[in-house]
Amino acid sequence: MTTEEVKKETPKKKKESGKQVVIPLLQHIGITCKPLVKVKEEVLVGQKIGENTDGLCASVHSSIAGHVVAIEERLHPLCGKISSIVIESDETNRAIEYSPYNNPTKEDIINAVQEAGIVDLTGYPLYDMLTTYNRIDTVLINLTFPGDVSSNCTSENIPKIIKGMKLLMKGSGALDGAFIIHKYNRSLSSKMKSELHDENIEILTVKDDYPPVMANLLAYEITGIPVPNTQTPVDAGVILSSASGALAVTRAVNEGIPHIETNVTVSGAVRNPGTRRVNIGTSFKEVIQLSGGYSGEPGKIIMNGSLNGTAQPNDEVPVIKSTTEIIVQSTNEVLRESPGPCIHCARCVDVCPVNILPGRIASFSDMGMYDECFKLHVSSCIECGQCNYVCPSNRHIIQLIKFAKAELVKLLTIPDEEATPSPGCQTCENPCLLGAPFISGGIA
């Protein structure tokens, strides 16, 4: 595809862009990007504005053309306040010259993924998955997360997802690939089957939904290799991505466009729910306005899933690379019951995917007995939210578990006065899937 063709395409998509975008310099697990632009500097669509080559990092790009208004701390949907680049649009949508690859080699793919700063739904930069020291045997694409499926798995996207899978397999040198689809999502698996003509790629069905927090468990379910909490599927030789990640790879390699757009499904108390293609950095407010605005008074705005998503403090937070779903709850849908006593019904034990005793840990945490929580393997909890969902007594199990983890970090950290604070904020500890707080806290 030539550059002119790409440029022709852009105006159609850009009509949904807002006047101002806020692009956080941390949209992944890893270290914060350093800004490459200064205030008042002109930027173009797709221009790289943040990068850090010191460690685990995914570079960020401008999603609109305009000039930088400010580089300051702004609200982030996952991490409190993060330094962000605020860009005001000049309504021109001038884009940089994209450099697509027609017949990409392995190096081309890795290069394109790095340049595009692609972040998977788990928050892990895809570039680091591709360039791991481990031998990658399998590429899995998880199509069981409802938010991801509803946003990205439309009929027109399926060939692109398959292409993304092939590119990921080539880029990582994996010989096998598999799409993982929920057992009862028959329409998606039949669509996939009709499009898929490759012996090395299979379609596997699983019984449960696997949101991004359960990536390690999904890798275990498919490959049979247990992945401890402190590792990622990559350590077991598996690249586990999502429909969103595969689409971004296809766009990066075939069109040269960096990760500046994402599909977001808006549901709940809005007038016109549905999927929208929006620029990274657009505020939730604008996305909700595109969906017809609020119907009634909103009570809670949730990113990525009602079970384990993050509730937002206001609707000014920007869409980031791993946003797939915005759920608006009206005021009377918001849960307000006060918790009762634990009756030891063991419903939480039955649903727990990591086989711990969530209710018991929560009770110990409530009483301040964090050492007992540690003995009951609180650090294994992945905070998927299922115990909280089934609790008949409305107990705040996840909150108590998170609190116990935070208190344990305090208890087990040896204070070091000379140590400099780690880059980035510490609030990523709560959604962190990799057990990073335990690495920094010195438990592991």
Partner 1 sequence: MKLTVSHPSHIREGVTINKIMWSKIAILLVLSLFSAVVFGPKALVVVVVSVLAAVGTEAGIQKLTKQELTIKDGDAALIGLVMALLLPPTIALWIPVVGAFFAVALVKHAFGGLGSTLFNPAIAAWVFMNMSWGTLTGSESVPHIGEYTDLFIEYGSGRLAEVSAIVLVIGGLYLIYKKYIDWRIPTLYLITTIVMALLIGEELSYVITGMLFLGVFILAPDPTTSPITKKGRFIYGILCGILTVVYGYLTYDYVVAVLYTVFFANAVAPFIEKNTFPKPVNEVST
Question: Looking at beta carbons only, is 39 or 345 nearer to partner 1?
Answer: 345
Smallest separation, CB 438 to partner 1 (Å): 7
Residues forming contacts to partner 1 in the complex (CB under 8 A) are: 216-217, 220, 226-230, 297-302, 305-315, 327, 329, 334-335, 340-347, 349-350, 353-357, 359-360, 376-377, 379-380, 382-383, 385-386, 388-394, 396, 398-399, 402, 435, 438, 443-444
Closer residue to partner 1, CB minimum distance, 191 or 377: 377
Least gap, CB of 433 to partner 1 (angstroms): 11
Between 34 and 377, whose beta carbon lies closer to partner 1?
377
Which of 236, 206, 201, 234 lies closest to 221, judged by CA? Answer: 206
Task: Give 104 or 353: the residue with its C-beta nearer to partner 1.
Answer: 353
CB nearer to partner 1: give 34 or 300. Answer: 300
User: Smallest distance from the beta carbon of 29 to partner 1, in angstroms?
Assistant: 17
Q: What's the CA gap between 307 and 391, in Å, rounded?
A: 13
Least Å from the CB of residue 278 to partner 1: 20
* Minimum separation from the CB atom of position 86 to partner 1 (A): 22
Angle of CA points 98, 101, 107, to nearest 5°: 115
In the bound state with partner 1, the residue whose beta carbon lies nearer, of 11 and 340, is 340
**Minimum gap (Å) between residue 368 Cβ and partner 1:** 17
Rounded to whole angstroms, the Cα distance separating 222 from 252 reads 28
Is the Cβ of residue 72 or residue 350 nearer to partner 1 in the bound state?
A: 350
Whose Cβ is closer to partner 1: residue 229's or residue 275's? 229
- Taking the complex as a whole, the smallest distance from the CB of residue 158 to partner 1 amounts, in Å, to 29
User: In the complex with partner 1, which residue's Cβ is closer, 124 or 179?
Assistant: 124
Q: How far is the CB of 60 from partner 1 (least distance, A)?
A: 25
Closest separation between CB of residue 193 and partner 1, Å?
Answer: 31
